[in-house]
Structure 1
């Protein structure tokens, strides 16, 4: 009887120890699971080329360009779309390859500019240039917005300047288009929306006085803000050169019926 009592106590202690160990392992497992689902930090690198060449005693030509490098984007079709705006098409968008692409663009600019000087050269000291840049405008809700901008001057009455925005859906590996956002793109509806907001945004700017069109068309040059959908029109698109780029912001609250339900859910509208 005494032996039976000792065995019972020993068995109870053993089972208690096993249960305690099991709970500890389960708890540790739950903690481990929680630490795994930490969002990966989105890192962006860049490459630059900044160079100039003195063609003769009066003329210097300069080339400056920067490209972003997205090592964490692996989808080839998405990468093609990211660099298409810069007229770069490759099977490898590594830092080294993108640097080579910029050097090739510089060489092409130098050659084309020098070839164009065979019949005429400036008779005063000046610099002709070609500049381009890529920057991350925003990255929210797995929607990456990249701003492409550039300017330059190669003789003539004035130089040029441009801005272009592209939104990339990192969750679905695709470029975001208006068709992914809007249920309706009827030109009659949107012309009125864009014109009303253009005039509302123009207070004090004077761009409305240089308007070249009667109806403002939708453009794929857009980006997303917290509360607005922004459309960007470059010089000569809807206004005279002197007006500069025109930015029209349309409140999401004013166009909710025209927004796709999945888009509103994603942005929490």
Structure 2
């Protein structure tokens, strides 16, 4: 996949829209007795496409979650800047994240405005890039799709999955995931050491042991497509009532054909290593 970055501050070029625009806010509400739970989650979205050359139509979709009850600035930065980095093409270069917030104040209006601005700048930059490239021989649609999704939200914890899916010509598109889990009671992003004291070497062994869990009915094994001898312990993790999950994007540990790989480790497998406070909040019987 050819990576075309978004350049913030690029001059706006008028492009005619060729499909219906969608800029909507969808509100969902969850109830909980735990004061650390967020009760309102807004979905801010943009969805539009433009013809950027005689053969290429570009579609841009983005869905950002907004948590109006989260007011801690450091926590807000950790939640929203990850999505801003992803939209601006820095997700493949973890060493170059946003150093300052492009939002100013975190509210529904500034976040929605950022999505619209980023969408327009992406269209502008794509059109500019195509001017120096050979046009495809047949009509095709390129796309850039980014979204946030809640994976877990109980016991004062909030797990968010950030995903991106893009195609800009070639044999296939590409996609990747970033997982972040937040402790809402202590206003921080969780580290693996907040969950378990198990050494990474032991966790790596469990990851290899559980690699093919959930694929038993398929006519292949993921181990056949591994690109590594030992599975590294990734910071892309989240959990639910039953398991701790480690998520790997295509090419990270296996061939593209293996797809993204989600490896579960059950709480009983971590028996004796769980953080006592974490186990108590999660009501896990083994600690």
- Same fold, judged at TM 0.5 (above): yes
* Segment of structure 1 superposing worse, 84-93 or 129-138: 84-93
> 1:105 corresponds to which residue?
118
> Take 2:149 and 2:251, find their aligned partners in 1: how far apart are those partners?
24
Cα distance in 2 for residues equivalent to 1:69 and 1:38: 21
Match of 1:257 in 2: 272
After superposition, the Cα gap between the structure-2 partners of 1:185 and 1:105, relative to the gap in structure 1 and judged at 3 Å, is farther
Q: Is the 8 Å Cα contact of residues 46 and 95 (structure 1) preserved in structure 2?
A: no
For normalisation by structure 2, the TM-score amounts to 0.76
Q: Is contact 2:181–2:189 with CA below 8 Å preserved after alignment?
A: yes
Distance 2:263 2:39 in 1: 29
Between structures 1 and 2, the one with greater helix share: 1
Q: Tell me: higher relative CO, structure 1 or 2? Use CA pairs within 8 A at least 6 residues apart.
A: 2
Provide the C-alpha distance between the structure 1 equivalents of 2:213 and 2:53, rounded to a whole number of angstroms.
50
Residues paired across the two proteins, number: 232
Q: Is the 8 A contact 2:53 2:127 kept in 1?
A: no
Displacement of 1:193 after TM fit?
Answer: 1.2
Q: Are 2:213 and 1:213 equivalent residues in the alignment?
A: no
* 1:24 alignment partner in structure 2: none
Contact 2:153 2:159 in 1 (8 A): yes
Any idea what the Cα deviations from partners look like across 1:153-174, whole Å, max 9, x if unmatched? Answer: 0012210112222111111111
Q: What is the distance in 1 between the residues matched to 2:213 and 2:186? A: 35
The TM-score normalised by the length of structure 1 is: 0.81
Partner of 2:56: 59
1:32 aligns with none
Q: CA deviation at 1:126?
A: 0.7
Q: 1:192 aligns with which of 205, 229, 238?
A: 205
Q: Which runs of 5+ in 2 are unaligned?
A: 1-31, 86-100
The RMSD of aligned alpha carbons is 1.8
CA distance in 2, matches of 1:63, 1:137: 24
The answer for unaligned runs of 5 or more in structure 1 is 1-36
